[in-house]
Amino acid sequence: MRAWLALDRRTLLLYLEAYICLGLARIQLYRPFAKVAPTLGVRMEVTTETCDDLLKRRQIKQIASAVDIMSRRTIWESKCFVRAIANMRMLARRGIESTLYLGTGKDEHGRLAAHAWLRSGPIYLSGADVMKDFVVVETFANKAC
């Protein structure tokens, strides 16, 4: 608790926003994907992999960190899709474009598994740790700029 109180106001607000976005993204899991997909961006397109703006890069990394930290503190399960959507919404709010990747693969038991990860410029905000184990089946470009 003391660590939370030691944080500056800006960081606390960023963490609060991340928590709220994670909750809203979790709710999306209960809706049919056909209804959710149009809100994710332009289907089967990707955004640019370059980002020369140092301020945007810093914002991207701060958002990724906030979502990562808060996803471990939610009372609900915040796995890859929820984390990717929360990151995407926070970036869009700041006018920063991103690409959501959806992939399929096999888990360690040979069963079908799905995964979602998010990229903004050259930075992977979530899901990058295991993305190599999955084949991309869908992309959504969120051209928020």
**pTM score:** 0.92
Other Cβ atoms closer than 10 A to 41 = 21
What is the Cα–Cα distance from 108 to 129, expressed in whole angstroms?
15
Q: List 115's β-bridge partners, or say none.
A: 103
What is the Cα–Cα distance from 42 to 141, expressed in whole angstroms?
5
**DSSP state at residue 38:** G
Contact 94, 121 (CB under 8 A): no
Contact 68, 14 (CB under 8 A): no
Contact 116, 102 (CB under 8 A): yes
Q: What is the pLDDT along the chain (145 residues), one digit of tens a residue?
A: 567 667 788 999 999 999 999 999 999 999 999 999 999 999 999 998 887 788 899 999 999 999 999 999 999 999 999 999 999 999 999 999 999 999 999 988 989 999 999 999 999 999 999 999 999 999 999 986 5
